[in-house]
Amino acid sequence: MTERLKNHLAGQWQAGTGTGVTLYDPVLGTPLVEVDATCLDLPHGFAFARSQAGPALRAMTYQERGAMLGKIATVLQSHRDRYYEISTANSGTVKNDTAVDVDGGIYTLSTYARLGEQLGARRFLLDGEATKLGKDPLFQSQHILSPRTGLALFINAFNFPSWGLWEKAAQAIGARLQKTTVGNPRNDTVRMGSLVSREQYQAVAEGIGRLSAQADLLFDGRTAALVDADPTIACCVGPVLLGCRDPEGQPLVHDLEVFGPVATLMPYKSLSQVTALIARGQGSLVTSVYGKDPAALAEAATTVAAYHGRVHVFSPDVASLQSGHGNVMPQSIHGGPGRAGGGEELGGLRALPFYHQRTALQASTEVLAAL
């Protein structure tokens, strides 16, 4: 019998009462678990968060919160190998991709545990220095950040389009892609696993078909044999590289994003032209800029910054040090404008204002000193 996962709501584990949805291994096709949220009392869960969980959390100092995050990270680290197994079975990811989620998540918690320790035994934060409001310095304004009440709902979003390069790059990329082995991530020779479901598999196939009407198919990894995987069952798609010779006249390559191993190369002649093309994408989480000239890289990065939450700059001096295009680091913000969701998270202490209310306290210097 397939295990049914429970939901943690209102401080306790609860099982749904419906038939549930079965999650399958996207490579082997075997059932993993059932999930169901039928008849869960969400209003009660929201009320619990507002009346019990929230007040309990706000009663803690930042130092205490950090210590709690540290303990969570320790527990997660002790079960790390099991999470790798779950990721492989549920998402079809190879070890390198799993590390981004599992090890990256643990690292993020550990980072914020240290930040909480640095903030100390406080329950609100000072925001900048006090400023006098008149000629007499006795009456001043001090901004503070205090935790908001209520609750937060989180929805995952993914948006990683690729930009730049053309013909010579297409040949080099195609040669590299030919070496990419696709199939069962449990096989150590496999470098690319699967999509998460047959529904996503079908959506990717349809998306490639639509993009192919406005772009040339430069490399099609779907023709290669899968490693240790049945193509009639596994949700594996080999890497596909497209090239659009007229990106200014083809709207679909800007409007359709295929959530799979699919990229489209677009030629450009100037920074202004590529910036205009990027703008048509209507927002992204991250873009990468490559080059050798520091001044040119700085100009390009600041020019395209308005359309991205993060700009990853590759130059020869950091080739062996850079963290990677797709790696989300807790020290940098994660998010982006427009289609990327219009929000942000992480970024070290920059993550806190979203959950805090900024308030100007106007008072005597004696009162402000008591803060």
Does some domain include residue 28? yes
Does some domain include residue 198? yes
Same domain? For 207 and 99 the reply is no
pLDDT score at 65:
95
CB atoms within 10 A of CB 345: 17
pLDDT score at 345:
86
Q: Which residue has the tokens 């409007």?
A: 255
**C-alpha dihedral (317, 264, 189, 329), degrees to nearest 10:** 50
Residue 82, domain CATH: 3.40.605.10
Does some domain include residue 336? no
Same domain? For 26 and 108 the reply is yes
- Measured CA to CA, the distance from residue 72 to residue 352 in angstroms comes to 19
Q: Which domain holds residue 60?
A: 3-130
Condensed to tens digits (0 to 9), the pLDDT of residues 108-148 reads: 999 999 999 999 999 999 999 999 998 889 999 999 999 99
Same domain? For 136 and 254 the reply is no
pLDDT score at 134:
86
Same domain? For 297 and 352 the reply is no
Does some domain include residue 331? no
Does some domain include residue 37? yes
The answer to whether the predicted template modeling score (pTM) of the entire model surpasses 0.75 is yes
Start-end of H helices in 59-131: 62-78, 80-91, 95-119
Same domain? For 47 and 151 the reply is no
CB atoms within 10 A of CB 114: 11
Does some domain include residue 173? yes
Same domain? For 208 and 239 the reply is yes
Phi, psi of 30 (to 5 degrees): -85, 145
Residue 280, domain CATH: 3.40.309.10
Same domain? For 297 and 172 the reply is yes
pLDDT score at 170:
62
Does some domain include residue 334? no
Copy the structure tokens of residue 124.
């609100």
Same domain? For 266 and 353 the reply is no
3-class state of residue 51 by DSSP: helix
Sign, Cα dihedral of 207, 213, 216, 218: positive
Q: How far is CA 183 from the centre of its chain?
A: 24
Same domain? For 126 and 144 the reply is no
Same domain? For 289 and 345 the reply is no
Burial 294-307 (b: 16+ CB within 10 A, else e): eeebeebbebbeeb
pLDDT score at 206:
95
DSSP of 321-351: T---SS---TTSEEEESGGG-SEEEESGGGG
- Measured CA to CA, the distance from residue 208 to residue 260 in angstroms comes to 10
User: Mean pLDDT of successive 10-residue segments in the chain (371 residues)?
Assistant: 90 92 92 92 93 94 95 94 91 87 91 95 94 91 94 62 43 80 92 90 94 92 92 92 92 91 91 92 90 93 93 91 85 88 86 92 93 89
- Measured CA to CA, the distance from residue 123 to residue 121 in angstroms comes to 7
pLDDT score at 277:
93
* Number of separate domains in the chain: 3
Same domain? For 64 and 32 the reply is yes
pLDDT score at 156:
62
Same domain? For 261 and 317 the reply is yes
pLDDT score at 152:
83
Does some domain include residue 335? no
